[in-house]
Structure 1
Amino acid sequence: MKTVTVDYGLYSVIEETAKSLYIKALKDLPPDVRQALQNAYEIEEEENPKKILSTMLEAIKISDNKQCLLCQDTGIPLYFIKIGSRLNIDIPRLQKAIIRGTERATVEHPLRSSVCHPIKRTNHQTSTGYRIPLINLDFVEDGDNLEILMVPKGSGSENMSFLKMLIPAEGIRGVKKFIIDSVLEAGANPCPPFVIGVGLGGTSDLCVKLAKLAAVTRPLDSRHEDPDIAALEEELLEAVNQLGIGPMGLGGKTTALALNIEYAYTHITQNPVAVNIQCWPARRARAKIDVNGKVEFGY
């Protein structure tokens, strides 16, 4: 297989792109999220939730017009990177470029840094630290591009994360019950209407990762390619929206804008289930970089 060696100048492009993506994600809400909020507003009948949704839509317009942040929480920066298999790329250098871009976005914009030491609580004011930003690497067969998805994960939603190691005897009813119970426990804390990510199977750590991937990387109007999983997504979303938690926990028809599931095969004696939630400004920004350094931004 013919490989393409990355020119050293491309790492500067990656750094600049990481910087731009962090800022873009904090300001420019994806079209599918905007539409989901608009749909929620249109179907709502009660005055309070309708007013809250109207305020959210107005906040988006203000952010667009004034180029200000949608939320003061700049989150923990997450980068999901897909590397074409034909790219001969220096992974440590790539990671350093992402970290440097995150630092520059925080200092040069400037942004509030939300990243601190877990015990000392010291904050370097760079949105970076030991093992942060979180950089997830994946590889695409026969590709020669680099794709970067940036997600600023706020604490209000991240704090509402759940994992349970079910046993197979609990079956699909146990899975559904745990998911619904988790949403009830989360209540208004993750700023509903939120996006629910569910991970099924794998090991405990993989299951939690799958839940996060489902919550933050998939468009809200998508459905899983597996028809059985897609049907479960629809069933659970309908059930969640019957809970009546509603926008900001004050009641209403829409508690969740979407419920996405990702799964993996697991051990015959276990059935892990994880829930990860994303708040109503389900922020994300994406870029594709070709070998010549051309950058295409999107969501």
Structure 2
Amino acid sequence: MVMKTISSNTVADALLVHIPRLATVLPSDIKEALIAARNKETHERARIVLEQLVENSEIAETDRVPLCQDTGTVWVCLEIGPGIQMDGNVFANVDKAVASAFTNSRLRMSVVKNALFDRTNTGTNTPAFCEWRFIPEPGVARLRIMLKGGGSDNASRVVMLTPSAGRQGVIDAVVECVREKAANACPPLVIGVGVGSTFDKVPNLAKRALMRPLDELASDAETQEFEEELLAAVNATGIGAGALGGDTTALGVRVMTAPCHIAALPVAINMGCSAMRRVTVEL
């Protein structure tokens, strides 16, 4: 059996191709969801906002200019299955590729040297935030890339519930977060919800949940039903597009669950803005 090899150049080349496109071309599932929301919106101000978001996406794609001035931090997740060989440090050239893509595409640099002690801009939008994980898919190598703006991340949170809070407790935590933070996250939102694992791992579940396209259903009926219930609860807030009131506060909710301690119910809510810039690349 000949093993597929993933090198640092494989990852870097993918970033050089996809970062400029992510910054300027709205993923098709997000654009289609915005159009659908616009067409059924019953509030005039919200309909105007949705129309402007659709128009903005068309201008950005045509003129190759950013969808939003906040072109975000770069999150890179490499997933590898059995039969895949990694050639040394596969992330060795990531920062070089990110700096090149952001400089050549004239994207805003949004990373500081140290969150607390030195908030000087690095000037390169690096470091990127990288991770890799094993997946039970033989011969598969997959790269997930996200450009994540500050407003939507600032609206995110982790809540450590007790098991007695149950399903309704999770719903209440999501809705509370939306009521308090959605207006600053550029709605309509895409909301990633992680439930389970541990305090340090549950945010990753929520972020990975955001990677599933809006036109791709969950793999099981139970999760599908819960996502629909969460979406209905979020949209019932009436916050709406642009937080000006309306029918669509969120375009979709994506949930990822995991095992956890018997005494815990960890919940993470990762807000994604109306410019949900992410792509999955099969290597």
Using structure 2 for the length normalisation, give the TM-score. 0.94
Q: Runs (4+) of structure 1 moved beyond 4 Å?
A: none
Equivalence for 2:126: 128
Structure 1 contact 77–153 (Cα < 8 Å) conserved: yes
Distance 1:91 1:181, change over 3 A: farther
Q: CA deviation at 1:15?
A: 1.8
Distance 1:90 1:189, change over 3 A: same
Tell me, in whole angstroms, the C-alpha distance in 2 between the residues paired with 1:232 and 1:144.
32
Structure 2 unaligned spans of 5+: none
Aligned letter for 1:31? Answer: S
Letter in 2 for 1:156: G
Residues 3 and 87, structure 1, Cα contact 8 Å, conserved in 2: no
Partners of 2:238 and 2:206 in 1: CA distance: 23
Matched, 1:105 2:104: no
Mapping for residues 1-299 of structure 1, pairs under 5 Å: 2-4=1-3, 6=5, 11-92=8-89, 94-117=90-113, 118=115, 119-129=117-127, 133-141=128-136, 143-215=138-210, 217-289=211-283
How many residues were matched structurally?
281
Contact 1:24 1:285 in 2 (8 A): no
Q: Give 1:210 deviation, angstroms.
A: 0.7
Of 25-34 and 250-259, deviating more is 25-34
Q: Residues of 2 paired with 1:192 and 1:127: CA distance?
A: 25
Q: 2:242, 2:4 → 1: CA distance?
A: 49
Structure 1 position 140, deviation (Å) = 3.9
Q: For structure 1, which segment, 219-228 or 173-182, has the greater mean C-alpha deviation from structure 2 after superposition?
A: 219-228
Deviates more, 1:266-275 or 1:16-25: 16-25
> Quick one: distance in 2 between partners of 1:140 and 1:13?
19
Letter in 2 for 1:201: G
- The residue type paired with residue 69 of structure 1 is P
> Residues of 2 paired with 1:252 and 1:5: CA distance?
49
Distance 1:97 1:85, change over 3 A: farther
Secondary structure at the counterpart of residue 195 of structure 2: strand
- 2: CA distance, partners of 1:205 / 1:88: 28
TM-score by length of 1: 0.89
Distance 1:36 1:91 in 2: 41
Are the equivalent residues in 2 in contact too, given 1:221–1:258 (CA < 8 A)? no
Structure 1: gaps of 5 or more residues? 290-299
Cα 1:52–1:276 shift into 2, 3 Å:
same
